[in-house]
């Protein structure tokens, strides 16, 4: 809850929405890719869009960049209505696609120069803008290297630099670290976190739970084209998974027995490999906890527990 303003001072204005979707629908034949989607992203925040394959994340990204047109509902990006004012909105956005679409015959600097020109960065400012983007992505030393000679991590950084060359107000990232090894992923996390610190609004679709936990101010969990939960990561864990999970180990028939027992008592469970995780385990009755704990391990509940509880699917 926002604290009231001191007497005699005007109340602070609520943050404006960089993105606002209301009742948005998009179907491809009989498939409802986006089904009545409501979503708001305040300016200057980072929102992580989590969901299993087919949840509608990539379709939502295409709607926001006007690569696809909604069948119904209202979409606004930076105050511009889509698709009518998509040109004005896109001029103020940067887009990091899931697929690498760099021009492999051009150097890193030349790739950025093409986009600086497309985004109409003034000629007198263009070189400085390109140098700034290269430095931001830690690619200054590889500025003249052809894109096809860069490593996978460098290419992903170049894709992000390309999206930032015109200093956008909003950056849309579709699975920005997909397929990268953990070390390179952490390098990109630092880059994305720097954007958030600089006040750039970021919408990032991802299926990496840790990515959403570390970078996002708020998380929206999507399933079947809708947002099924929305809030800060910690608040989502507290609401849907509690403080603790108890992972019980045993034979498959024993785990099925335990699952039926605790489900009948109102507890949410999930299978985690050879174990059954019982969420909000801090609320287990003492007798039941005493029965299960000799074959179990307690741990802190996490956002992955929330994801599985809400979507019914494990992380791919």
DSSP E strands, 43-162: 46-50, 72-77, 80-82, 93-96
45 vs 187 pLDDT, higher one = 45
| CATH classification of the domain holding 266 | 3.30.70.3110
**292: its two tokens:** 């299960």
Would residue 246 count as lying in a domain? yes
The contacts of residue 298 (CB under 8 Å, 6+ apart) are: 244, 245, 246, 247, 281
Residue 246: which residues within 8 A CB-CB, separation 6 or more? 277, 278, 281, 284, 289, 292, 293, 296, 297, 298
Q: Which of 107-111, 161-165, 272-276, 286-290 has the lowest mean pLDDT?
A: 272-276
The per-residue pLDDT for range 135-157, each reduced to its tens digit, is: 989 999 999 999 999 999 999 99
What is the mean pLDDT of the segment spanning 251-257? 94
Average pLDDT over residues 119-131: 97
pLDDT recorded at residue 92: 95
For the chain, the average pLDDT equals 92
5 in any annotated domain: no
Radius of gyration over every alpha carbon of the chain, rounded to an integer in angstroms? 23
The answer to whether the beta carbons of residues 47 and 219 sit under 8 Å apart is: yes
Instruction: Give yes or no for residue 2 having a pLDDT over 50.
Output: no
Q: How many domains does the chain have?
A: 1
* Percent of the chain with pLDDT strictly greater than 90: 78
**How much is the pLDDT for 273?**
81
pLDDT, one tens digit per residue, over 61-105 is: 999 999 999 999 999 999 999 999 999 999 999 999 988 999 999
pLDDT over 80 (residue 193): yes
Q: Helix (H, G, I), strand (E, B), or coil: what is residue 194?
A: helix
Q: What share of the chain in percent tops pLDDT 70?
A: 94
Between 13-22, 29-38, 259-268, 290-299, the lowest mean confidence (pLDDT) is in: 13-22
Q: How many CA atoms lie within 13 A of 291 on its CB side?
A: 10
What whole-number distance in Å separates Cα of residue 304 and Cα of residue 241? 9
What's the pLDDT band for 108 if we cut at 50, 70, 90? very high
pLDDT on residue 224: 93
DSSP category for residue 43: T
Q: At 7, is the pLDDT very low, low, confident or very high (cuts 50, 70, 90)?
A: low
250 in a domain, yes or no? yes
For residue 275, tell me if it sits in a domain.
Answer: yes
What's the whole-number mean pLDDT along residues 9-27? 81
* In a domain? residue 210: no
What's the confidence (pLDDT) of residue 1? 43
Is the bond leading into 89 cis (omega within 30 degrees of zero)? Answer: no
Q: Is the pLDDT of residue 215 over 70?
A: yes
- Domain membership of residue 204 (yes or no) is no
Which residues, including other chains, have CB under 8 Å from residue 87's CB and lie 6 or more apart?
Answer: none
Does the predicted model carry a pTM greater than 0.75?
yes
Q: 271: domain range?
A: 242-300
């Amino acid at each position: 809850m926002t604290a009231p303003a001191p007497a005699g001072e005007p109340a602070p204005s609520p943050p404006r929405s960089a993105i606002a979707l209301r009742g948005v629908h998009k179907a491809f034949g009989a498939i409802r890719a986006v089904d009545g989607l409501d979503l708001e992203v305040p300016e200057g925040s980072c929102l992580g869009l989590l969901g299993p394959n087919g949840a509608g994340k990539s379709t939502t990204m295409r709607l926001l960049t006007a690569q696809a047109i909604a069948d119904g509902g209202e979409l606004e990006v930076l105050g511009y209505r889509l698709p009518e004012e998509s040109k004005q909105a896109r001029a103020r956005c940067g887009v990091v696609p899931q697929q690498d679409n760099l021009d492999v015959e051009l150097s890193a600097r030349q790739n950025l120069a093409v986009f600086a020109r497309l985004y109409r960065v003034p000629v007198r400012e263009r070189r400085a803008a390109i140098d700034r983007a290269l430095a931001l992505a830690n690619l200054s030393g590889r500025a003249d290297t052809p894109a096809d000679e860069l490593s996978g991590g460098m290419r992903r950084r170049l894709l992000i630099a390309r999206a930032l060359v015109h200093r956008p107000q909003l950056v849309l990232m579709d699975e920005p670290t997909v397929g990268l090894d953990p070390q390179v992923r952490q390098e990109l996390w630092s880059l994305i976190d720097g954007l958030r610190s600089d006040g750039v609004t970021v919408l990032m679709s991802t299926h990496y739970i840790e990515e959403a936990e570390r970078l996002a101010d708020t998380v929206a969990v999507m399933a079947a084209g809708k947002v099924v939960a929305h809030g800060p990561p910690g608040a989502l864990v507290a609401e849907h998974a509690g403080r603790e999970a108890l992972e019980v180990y045993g034979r498959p028939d024993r785990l099925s027995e335990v699952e039926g027992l605790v489900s009948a008592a109102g507890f949410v469970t999930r299978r985690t490999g050879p174990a059954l995780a019982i969420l909000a385990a801090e609320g287990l009755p003492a007798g039941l906890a005493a029965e299960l704990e000799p074959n179990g391990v307690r741990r802190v509940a996490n956002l992955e527990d929330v994801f599985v509880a809400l979507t019914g699917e494990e992380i791919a």
